[in-house]
Structures are given as structure tokens and as C-alpha cells.
Amino acid sequence: MASPSTFTTLALCFLMTTAVSFANKFNDEFDIIWGNDHAKYLDNGETVTLTLDSVTGSGFQSKSEFLYGKIDMQIKLVPGDSAGTVTAYYLKSEGTSWDEVDFEFLGNVSGDPYTMHTNVYCQGKGDREQQFHLWFDPTTDFHKYSILWNPKTIIFSVDDIAVREFKNMEFKGIPFPKSQPMRLYSSIWNADDWATRGGQVKTDWSKAPFITSYRNFSSDACVLSGGYNSCGSWMATKNWFSEVLDIQSREKMESVQNNFMIYNYCTDYQRFPQGLPQECYVSGP
């Protein structure tokens, strides 16, 4: 874990790089798909809240399906004792061999740090978890969580700081999400069988309702309407279509991983006694 001085230096450095995100109205872009009365549009549709209580959780999904793009969302997580709760924010395709790109925020006992859980599924197979503690309190203000997805890479970012990259390594026979369009989803739900300290701490329903807030959704992505080929000419005009991490961004990502990563599947030899997944052995830019 980082020292207080390291924490402060990193936080100040990261804050100076935060960019502005332009918002789309939630009620134009999303449908409530779960717990209708537990989801509320606020500020003329520019903000939405999702609520979990002992009755139900809630969630939404994008009206559109995306094939490659940059997705941003500002989120403020459940404050106080949120043990047992999970706020999920992810891209996912349909079908039994689905692709998926996950952020999940695992609740905590008051005073403990949130765990930010990330994962990538390719053709229905995940098991690619990396987890982090954040360098700020994600419950006191909104912070931006972003996914860049292009044919070369998937980059997870927090406040415009890359925290994880999953490269396209099909040249090594490793599947990569590339042809299945994905919708954006978010939900809040009870997972006290595993979410907090491995399920040791249960949800305290006397602290309910648990509320997560969202604003400033923005997307620069191909909205799929006519199959994969309908996106080709559009994507070719976008700088992010071939974007990869530059040296400075990679150094910041490595700093985050060195100081705030708490789990990496690529170092879990106990979990993979027959050998780590193949992508864990591939290096390079």
C-alpha cells in the first residue's frame, strides 16, 4: 500500500490531468430494466440514481449497441456502510459466448476503502480479474470511469488515468472482443455472499437505502445498425480507433498498479497451478 506522501503526490498529479466530459441525457440514452421505482431521473434527465434496499436493487441499459468506442460515466458511489453491495458498470454483448468489459465496485464497512474490481470476458470466458483501491474517496463526489475499446486494446481509466490495459493478442491465439456489439449496463445489487471481505461482512439493511448516482454520460462510439461493416468508414475517422497508451500514460498506469492494485490474476499461481493464462506471459508495448 502507498505511503501518505506517495498517495498525496499521485492524487495531485492525477487531478491535474482530468478532462471535461460532455453529457447526454439519461432518459434519451438509457432504459430502466430492473427495479423501476428504485431508479430515478433527476436534473431534467441529466442525472440518474439507482437504489438497493431489502426489497430489490435496480439497473439500466443503453438503448444502443456499440461496436468500439470511448465510453465515459461520472459515478458517485454509496457512502457510509455499504458492505455487501456491488455497483456494476460494464459493457456486455448478448448470447452464450458473450464479450464483456467490467467495472464493479465492492462495498465496504465505513472507513474501509472501496475495492474496484475489473474483468474482461471473451467469448463467454472471464477469470481475468484485477482489483484496486482508489486514491480518493469515491463516495464524496463524482469521478469519471471510462472504457476505451478499439481493435488494438481495451483501456480502463479513472479520471482519465489508465489503470488497466487488455491488449489484442490474437496473434498468440488469445481471444479478443472485436465483432460482438455491446450495450452499456449499470446496476446496484446485494452480493454479501462474496463482495466484502470474501463474504465475511454481510449487508446491514438498517443502513438502507443504498444509492449510487450517475451523471455526464458521454460516448464516442459506433452505434451498430447495419452490422460490423457499417462501422468501418466511421471508425477510420476517429483518432481513438488506433489509440494505444503513450509513454507518459503507461508510466502513470504502472504507478497506479504498483501502489493501488490489490489483486492481479496474472500473479495468482495458486489459482492457476497448471500455469497462468497465456496473455500473462506476453509482454511488449
Q: Coil, strand or helix: which one is 269?
A: coil
Q: Are the beta carbons of 105 and 117 closer than 8 angstroms?
A: yes
List CB contacts of 48: < 8 A, sequence separation 6 or more: 26, 30, 39, 40, 41, 42, 60, 213, 214, 215
CA-based torsion, 104, 109, 110, 112: positive or negative: negative
To the query of whether residue 243 is one of the catalytic residues in this protein, the response is no
Q: Are 182 and 65 in contact (CB under 8 A)?
A: yes
Active site residue 65: no
| Three cell numbers written together for 240 | 481513438
Torsion of Cα atoms, 227 then 232 then 237 then 243, to 10°: 100
DSSP 25: -
Strands 85-92 and 183-190: antiparallel
* Residue from 100, 129, 165, 251 carrying the catalytic annotation: 100
Residues 6+ apart with CB under 8 A from 97: 123, 124
The number of beta carbons lying within 10 Å of the beta carbon of residue 260 is 21
Helix (H), strand (E) counts: the chain: 4, 15
CA 161, CA 178: separation in Å to the nearest integer? 24
Candidate list 29, 65, 104, 279, residue with the active-site label: 104
By annotation, the residues acting in catalysis are 100, 104
